[in-house]
Amino acid sequence: MKQNIYDNPVFFEGYTSKRETGLTINDFVEQPSIKSLIPNLEGKTVLDLGCGAGGLTKYCADNGASKVVGIDISSNMINKAKHDNSHEKIEYICTAIEDLNLNEQTFDIIISSLAVHYVEDYPKLVENVRNLLKGNGLFIFSTEHPISTARRQLTRTSKNWITDDEGNRLHWAIDHYHEEGKRAFHWLVDGVVMYHRSLSTLINTLIENGLVLEKVLEPQSTPEGLEKIPKLINEQRRPSFIVIKSRKSN
Amino acid sequence: MKQNIYDNPVFFEGYTSKRETGLTINDFVEQPSIKSLIPNLEGKTVLDLGCGAGGLTKYCADNGASKVVGIDISSNMINKAKHDNSHEKIEYICTAIEDLNLNEQTFDIIISSLAVHYVEDYPKLVENVRNLLKGNGLFIFSTEHPISTARRQLTRTSKNWITDDEGNRLHWAIDHYHEEGKRAFHWLVDGVVMYHRSLSTLINTLIENGLVLEKVLEPQSTPEGLEKIPKLINEQRRPSFIVIKSRKSN
């Protein structure tokens, strides 16, 4: 079943009010990293998979893309994107990544910011991406790092940061690395589901589908982020995200 | 300074008597994995970086390579290789990987089994590999996984497996992921040094040197290994090694 947690009203409210502060890990760790991999967009067509409220979609349109299609499974999110981040070059479509059907349109660049870990069938996703890319096109995506998703949460309150009695973070716990699949946890609401995949699965699936790896990033915080959210220093201790740029070979 | 721990007599004795049992993690996890990435060797020239006692060097000669050069910094190891694993197609040379000078010889395939983590200057190593490879040649190597090397050992006895009072392994501890560099620990003797590098450093350095990624493995144990060494089941919980196959682009 395709997950649509962003249409849960409690989650949606909690998530959007958090993101709108502009003071999240996304703002200072993930977004600067994925943007650093996006090339000059002048005249390029872009597809944004799991566009959410359209922040990155709008960024692409503002930076010269000739056309941007943003898709998301959540109608809440698509409505918010249309309201907050509309642009004459952008078309927003409410659909699951897995169901995407764009009548043989192809794109110069496909981006996806922190959505791939919500998709159960990663090989199918990558196959779709390859078919939607023009020759020599780029697929640039960020996802939860396998180090971050590996350990099953044994109870709702268990955390992967192991702390001492005073709450100091001693280390990050890894386990179940090669048990790929569902990880359910509490994030604003119960039962948010992500899919854990090993690093080798993430990379080899791209290669097997004719995508050539160009860069892998495990981002840390920007200096501004460290100033505004001191705990982002912990990104040095273990990476939360991995960001991958690959190119379709001809 | 280049490390030559294998010429420490206590280490050498401990290491070789352990390896000679044929019952180590190398035999059932790392070796099957790196061998699975080595293509048909018929008529190929091979360079083995950090060949140790020559087991894998001999494997290449036995499997049809037209010529194999095995190099190692340890004269103990090279002497043992010449004694245990000589072959008319093999030349063993005692030198540090960093000092390698082969008078413009080039190779079809360069392999390296669990030696790269002893080398401080990884970019220089990869640059040398590129120069030593023929066009379209392969670089296939195994190294300690960043998950395995990340956490600094705070004391000589601290371990990265966190256990309960009965000694049960609760989880594997990660820390200091982005602090690349030296990790010293006790393995048979004090002060064995490895170099921790993040996954992105391992991969991007290859790409920046014109090597195209073909496969990444995070090996688990073979069924035989699980039978003979039950604790190898822990390789499912966190990977000890990463094995990477890349090809020089023309």
Per DSSP, B34 falls in state: H
Residue of A nearest to B170 (CA): A175
> Is the pLDDT at B223 greater than 90, yes or no?
yes
Burial class (CB in 10 A: 0-12, 13-18, 19+), B167: exposed
Asked whether residue A156 is domain-assigned, the answer is: no
Q: Which of B147, B176, B198 sits opposite A174 (nearest CB)?
A: B147
DSSP H/E element including A112: strand A107-113
Within 10 angstroms of residue B203's Cβ, the number of other Cβ atoms is 23
Q: Which one has a higher pLDDT value, B107 or A13?
A: B107
Asked whether residue B167 is domain-assigned, the answer is: no
Asked whether residue A157 is domain-assigned, the answer is: no
Asked whether residue B62 is domain-assigned, the answer is: yes
Q: Which of B147, B203, B169 lies closest to A150, judged by CA?
A: B147
- Band of residue A154 on the pLDDT scale cut at 50, 70, 90: low
> Is the pLDDT at B135 greater than 80, yes or no?
yes
Residues A126, A129, A135, CA angle at the centre, nearest 5°? 120
Count of domains observed in chain B? 1
Burial class (CB in 10 A: 0-12, 13-18, 19+), B90: buried
Mean pLDDT, rounded, for B18-36: 92
Distances in whole angstroms, Cα of residue A156 to Cα of each of A159, A176, A184, B191, B212: 8, 17, 9, 41, 42
For residue B1, the model assigns a pLDDT of: 53
Structural domain of A113 = 5-146+198-248
CB within 8 Å: A207 and B214:
yes
Asked whether residue A159 is domain-assigned, the answer is: no
Asked whether residue A187 is domain-assigned, the answer is: no
Give phi and psi for A113, each to the nearest 5. -105, 110
- Band of residue B5 on the pLDDT scale cut at 50, 70, 90: confident
Task: Say which range, A102-111, B6-15, B167-176, has the weakest mean pLDDT.
Answer: B6-15
Which of A155, A169, A200 is the best residue to mutate to test the B interface, defined by the most B CB atoms within 10 Å of its own CB?
A200
Q: Across chain B, what does the average pLDDT equal?
A: 93
Distance between CA atoms of residues A112 and A198, nearest Å: 19
Long-range Cβ contact pairs of A154-162 (< 8 A, separation 24 or more) = A156/A185, A156/A186, A156/A190, A157/A186, A161/A234, A162/B162, A162/B171, A162/B173
Q: Across chain A, what does the average pLDDT equal?
A: 93
Which of B34, B164, B213, B232 is the best residue to mutate to test the A interface, defined by the most A CB atoms within 10 Å of its own CB?
B213
Asked whether residue A193 is domain-assigned, the answer is: no
Mean pLDDT, rounded, for A65-93: 97
**For A184-225, what is each residue's pLDDT tens digit?**
877 777 778 899 999 999 999 999 999 999 999 999 999 999
Residue keyed to tokens 């990558």: A126
Q: How many contacts, defined by CB atoms under 8 Å, are there between A and B? A: 104
**What's the CATH number where A96 sits?**
3.40.50.150
Asked whether residue B159 is domain-assigned, the answer is: no
Distance between CA atoms of residues B94 and A83, nearest Å: 68
Burial class (CB in 10 A: 0-12, 13-18, 19+), A83: exposed
- Band of residue B123 on the pLDDT scale cut at 50, 70, 90: very high
- Band of residue B154 on the pLDDT scale cut at 50, 70, 90: low
Q: How far is A199 from chain B (nearest CA, A)?
A: 8
For residue B18, the model assigns a pLDDT of: 82
3-state secondary structure of B11: helix
Mean pLDDT, rounded, for B190-195: 85
Q: Which of B93, B102, B99, B150 lies closest to B124, judged by CA?
A: B99
CB within 8 Å: A213 and B203:
yes
For residue B70, the model assigns a pLDDT of: 97
